[in-house]
Amino acid sequence: MSEYKDFREFYEQELLPDLEIIDRKRKKVDRRVITVLLITVAVIIVELSLIPKTNDIRIVVPIITGIIGFIIISVFSKSYRQEYKNRIITRITAFVDEGLTYTPEGTIAKSEFVKSEIFPLSCDSFKGEDHFRGKLGKTDIEFSEVVARHKNKRRSGSGTKNDYTLIFRGLFIIADFNKHFRTHTVVLPDAAERLFGKFGQKLQSISPGRGELIRLEDPVFEKEFCVYGDDQVESRYILTPALMQRILTFKRKWNTTVYLSFLDSKVYIAIRMFKNLFETRLFKSVVDYSFMEDNLRFLILLTEIVDDLNLNTRIWTKE
Amino acid sequence: MPYIIIISVVLLILIIGIALYNSLIRKKNDVENAFASIDVMLKKRYNLIPAIVDAVKGYMKHERILLTEITSLRAQALLDDLNNDHRVIIENKIQKGISELFVAVENYPDLKASQNFLHLQGSLNEVEEQLAASRRAFNAAVTLYNNSIEVFPSSIIASMMNYGRRTLFEIPESERENVSGKALLERQ
């Protein structure tokens, strides 16, 4: 925990002056947000009382008003959020590792997300933020928050109606793997086997477009994950008994759904998560050590992936 | 009417029989295939041995006997008329010899630092890792095959085809530790 003691020093000397400036802005933003909220509510009440009950627009107009209010609020808070990320998160990033750079508006490329083939549904809407990239030891790594959606086209009456299904929300990580390989292997959470046991295993082997089912010898790993690969031997070359153990520990550490894909000598990791990370907050002071420490802890947890999966060990032919 | 029932029952049995037969053949071929991939890796290892011996012999002064032994074991392993049991014995000896060699390297700092040696060590680790993967793939294929020849109803077809159990590859303790002991232990 020594780094946290250092971090307190860093917090007091480096972050505190900026946080105080940012917090003054937050108070201003808070006041504006409250004003906008009050006005919006007032307008909605007036609308509801003026428009007759039988009229269709009685629902539509207040909703539009609400949306406009929300947009105005997010415009007001945008510059404050940006400043917070640029000034504070950027410095916490440098504190964690000099080799890491942070781009608040950046994201991992959609093409990489699609290429990993973790999620079979086609990705029609892709958004991301809080992009980190760098070299940790020998390992190139990048990660960002990602929200990916699939568009469903439905025919209703005269026209088609679109709605979106959430494919994935969470953290997406791309890191250099410590071995060379040519084929593709995916490690997916195993719902079938946990629910149906042996019969579930049979179900897994019928999975179109996923390559062959790889049955691994670690029973605990087999219960948690289901592995598909193009090559029985190469998938095992990647997933050694030691790495299987590491993946299990990693999954338990994060305590959420984890997906992995091994492709082009890289590992793609998707960690499902609904919390929006590295954000500022409204109506509560940001001059708060524990709030900053949470950011630090989270970033350290992310950079630890390199050690968790032992990516820096290069005793094979990959330098 | 009874004829139709009899014919359909016979047909059904026939179809099930063919399906089981095909699946057994497929599983047997998977086992052969997996065995062949082990062979490929073993050959890769044989090819590396002369290079490793060459790289170390200039430095090593007290391990002449070990080096000669490894070279002669490799020559024996390459003989075609080797039966499987004999081959496993020679493989184990080679494995042991290489382990000893890499332990001895610790006494020669110059050798340990040489680029050529490091490169060879990386290649050997690579082959060993792939060899381990091939053995595990073979064992997985054999387990599937053994299960299906012992489980009813495919066991009936298997006994008609004279299919017997295959033995699993035992992964020797020394191999789990692996060749370059120290470096590989770091990844545990």
Would you state the pLDDT for residue B81? 74
Q: In what order do the strands lie in the sheet with A100-103?
A: A100-103, A125-136, A139-156, A159-176, A266-272, A258-263, A185-189, A225-229, A212-214
Q: Do B139 and A315 touch (CB under 8 A)?
A: no
Would you state the pLDDT for residue A194? 65
Domain that holds residue B12: 2-185
Does A242 touch chain B if contact means CB atoms closer than 8 Å?
yes
Minimum CA–CA partner of A217 in chain B: B140
Does A233 touch chain B if contact means CB atoms closer than 8 Å?
yes
Residues in CB range of B33: below 8 A, 6 or more apart: B141
* Distance in Å, alpha carbon of A237 to nearest chain B alpha carbon: 5
Candidates A179, A233, A242; nearest CB to B188: A242
Would you state the pLDDT for residue B182? 43
Residues of B with CB under 8 A from a CB of A: 34, 37, 121-123, 125-126, 129-130, 132-134, 136-137, 139-141, 143-144, 180, 183-184, 186-188
Q: What is the DSSP string of chain B?
A: -HHHHHHHHHHHHHHHHHHHHHHHHHHHHHHHHHHHHHHHHHHHHHHHHHHHHHHHHTT-SS-HHHHHHHHHHHHHHT-TT--HHHHHHHHHHHHHHHHHHHHHHTT-HHHHH-HHHHHHHHHHHHHHHHHHHHHHHHHHHHHHHHHHHHSTTHHHHHHHTT----PPPP--HHHHH-TTHHHHHTT-
Minimum CA–CA partner of A216 in chain B: B140
Q: Do B129 and A316 touch (CB under 8 A)?
A: yes
Q: What is the CATH number of the domain that holds B9?
A: 1.20.1440.20
* Distance in Å, alpha carbon of A269 to nearest chain B alpha carbon: 20
Q: Do B144 and A215 touch (CB under 8 A)?
A: yes
Q: Does the pLDDT value for residue B178 go beyond 50?
A: no
Would you state the pLDDT for residue A2? 43
Does A234 touch chain B if contact means CB atoms closer than 8 Å?
yes
The parts of chain A modelled with pLDDT lower than 50 are 1-2
Report the percentage of chain B scoring pLDDT > 90: 14
Q: How many CB pairs under 8 A join A and B?
A: 55
Minimum CA–CA partner of A237 in chain B: B133
Q: What is the mean pLDDT of residues B161-174?
A: 73
CA A157, A163, A165 angle in degrees (round to 5)? 140
Separation between Cα atoms, residue B24 and residue A29, nearest integer Å: 71
Contacts of A179 in chain B (CB under 8 A): 126, 129
Would you state the pLDDT for residue B179? 42
Number of domains in chain B: 1
* Distance in Å, alpha carbon of A117 to nearest chain B alpha carbon: 24
Contacts of B125 in chain A (CB under 8 A): 315-317
Minimum CA–CA partner of A180 in chain B: B126
What is the pLDDT confidence band of residue B59, given thresholds at 50, 70 and 90?
confident
Our CA dihedral for B33, B35, B40, B42, rounded to 10 degrees, sits at: 170
Separation between Cα atoms, residue A59 and residue A48, nearest integer Å: 8
Q: Are A248 and A223 in contact (CB under 8 A)?
A: no
Minimum CA–CA partner of A239 in chain B: B133
Backbone angles phi, psi at A107, to 5 degrees: -155, 165
Contacts of A214 in chain B (CB under 8 A): 140
Pairing of strands A212-214, A266-272: unpaired
ipTM of the complex: 0.74
Separation between Cα atoms, residue A253 and residue A255, nearest integer Å: 6
* pLDDT tens digits along B5-17: 999 999 999 999 8
Candidates A214, A315, A317; nearest CB to B187: A315
Residues in CB range of B173: below 8 A, 6 or more apart: none
* Distance in Å, alpha carbon of A315 to nearest chain B alpha carbon: 6
Would you state the pLDDT for residue B175? 46
Would you state the pLDDT for residue A61? 85
Picking from A215, A273, A201, A272, the residue whose alpha carbon sits closest to that of residue A244 is A215
Separation between Cα atoms, residue B184 and residue B174, nearest integer Å: 12
| Number of other CB atoms surrounding residue A238 within 10 Å | 24
Mutate to test the interface with A, among B23, B32, B129, B139 (most CBs of A within 10 A): B129
Q: What is the mean pLDDT of chain B?
A: 83
Query: H or E element: which one contains A155?
Result: strand A139-156
Q: Does the pLDDT value for residue B54 go beyond 80?
A: yes
Would you state the pLDDT for residue B172? 56
Candidates A215, A313, A317; nearest CB to B186: A313
Q: Do B140 and A216 touch (CB under 8 A)?
A: yes
Q: Does the pLDDT value for residue B177 go beyond 50?
A: no
Does A119 touch chain B if contact means CB atoms closer than 8 Å?
no
Q: Do B137 and A233 touch (CB under 8 A)?
A: yes
* The model scores a pTM over 0.90: no
Q: What is the mean pLDDT of residues B164-181?
A: 60
Does A216 touch chain B if contact means CB atoms closer than 8 Å?
yes
